Amino acid sequence: MTMQRRYRRGDTGPAVAEIRSKLVLLGLLPAGAHAVHGTGDTDGHGGYADAVFDDSVDLAVRHFQQQRAMTVDGVVGPETYRHLDEARWRLGDRMLSYSIGHPTVGDDVATLQQRLLDMGFDCGRVDGILGPATERALREFQRNYGLGADGTCGPATFRALDRLARTVVGGQPHAMRESELLHRSGPSLAGKTVVIDPGHGGTDQGVTAHGLTEAEIVWDLARRLEGRLSALGVQAYLTRGLDSDGIGEEERAAFANATDADLVISLHADRNESPRAAGVSSYYYGSGSDRYGRRSPTGEHFASLVQRELVARTGMVDGRTHGKAWTLLRRTRMPAVRIEVGYLTNAEDAARLASSEFRDHAAESVVVALQRLYLPPEEDVPTGMLRLPVFT
């Protein structure tokens, strides 16, 4: 079942029954308690139609979102629903094999990837998506351990994985691989490919406040960034045009993957019910709540560089960096960082974002952070000191 609309506290119906049963399966909701209103008649649609998204469901959804490093809002939309679906799979529950164009996704795949990495088989990062790199690593593992190298994870492979898991100590091979890739590509920005993703667009204007719209601001910022990067010899691609409409996060990620970029920079502006919420924050792919390496170390590093430069060069409040499992961050094969450049709902932030001088500083901050990312550590200089020849 695919879920198009968003469900929240107070909603009822079959979709809510489905959400409840998934939460029960995950141990986040007690079975049976207040599952339906009325007579408890659950045979046929009559009973399930009465399932209620009540306070206990709201709490369980928030708990789940927190665990999975998603936005915690208690609302089940397509993304949360997909995660609920993925979370129920344990390694061994089903056969796993690579299917072109329709990859298997789930927590069992993530466990498989972690096991493969622990044993030194490079399947890329742990993202729970069975893609070609995971299949290659799986075949390699099977070949090494005298199993039929068919790339399918069935009973014999599960048993072998289980046996070996106890003897192998986990490491961070993926972290090493990412940083190897980073340094192999050399210290110069020229020749790099960067995808710039201005959020929203078209009929989706994002946050609107203080006479500003998020879609327009991030578009303008993206163009300034694109100009600077191009001048430095970077091939920069934008995920959308000025008026492009209806481009989802999955499509943006697919676009970035197709360009085989070195890095993705997604630009957004934030909102909050409190007009006092202010500042800039940067997000990378990562889930803080589990011991496995579900994070992009380069993404995390770049996020901290961007954050540092933005705060130092613009004087914005430091909203710090955070690991998130948002679709764009997760589905891109290269490190990706999403920057929330300020709160449009905050008067001071809005005034800053309205100024073209501020946007120039913001764009320059991102470019300097990028420059730093590719500098060997010994050549790094204190924040605020690095000047790019082209723009001073």
The nearer residue to Zn ion, 206 or 297, going by C-beta atoms, is 206
Amino acid at site 61? V
Least Å distance, CB 125 to Zn ion, is 24
The nearer residue to Zn ion, 207 or 368, going by C-beta atoms, is 207
Contacts of 60 (CB under 8 A, 6+ apart): 23, 28, 29
* Burial class of residue 190 (count of CB atoms within 10 Å of its CB; 0-12, 13-18, 19+): exposed
Q: In which order are the strands placed within the sheet that holds 263-270?
A: 235-238, 193-198, 263-270, 336-343, 280-285, 318-324
Instruction: Tell me how long the chain is.
Output: 392
Dihedral, CA of residue 122, residue 128, residue 129 and residue 131, to nearest 10: 10
Least Å distance, CB 140 to Zn ion, is 40
- The tokens describing 364, both together, are 């320059």
The nearer residue to Zn ion, 192 or 330, going by C-beta atoms, is 330
Mapping DSSP to helix (H, G, I), strand (E, B) and coil, where does residue 27 land? coil
Helices (H), the chain: 14-25, 45-48, 55-67, 78-87, 107-118, 132-144, 155-165, 173-184, 214-231, 249-259, 297-314, 327-331, 347-354, 356-374
Least Å distance, CB 206 to Zn ion, is 4
Least Å distance, CB 282 to Zn ion, is 14
The nearer residue to Zn ion, 174 or 324, going by C-beta atoms, is 324
The nearer residue to Zn ion, 77 or 154, going by C-beta atoms, is 77
Least Å distance, CB 65 to Zn ion, is 18
- Interaction site with Zn ion (CB under 5 A): 199, 206, 268
Least Å distance, CB 5 to Zn ion, is 20
The nearer residue to Zn ion, 68 or 268, going by C-beta atoms, is 268
Please answer whether residues 214 and 205 qualify as being in contact, where contact means their C-beta atoms are separated by less than 8 angstroms.
yes
Find residue 263's DSSP bridge partners. Answer: 194
- The tokens describing 168, both together, are 């192998």
The nearer residue to Zn ion, 199 or 201, going by C-beta atoms, is 199
| Backbone φ, ψ for residue 152 (5° rounding) | -110, 130
Residue number, nearest CB to Zn ion = 268
The nearer residue to Zn ion, 199 or 319, going by C-beta atoms, is 199
Least Å distance, CB 367 to Zn ion, is 22
Least Å distance, CB 270 to Zn ion, is 7
Distance CA 314, CA 280 (A): 10
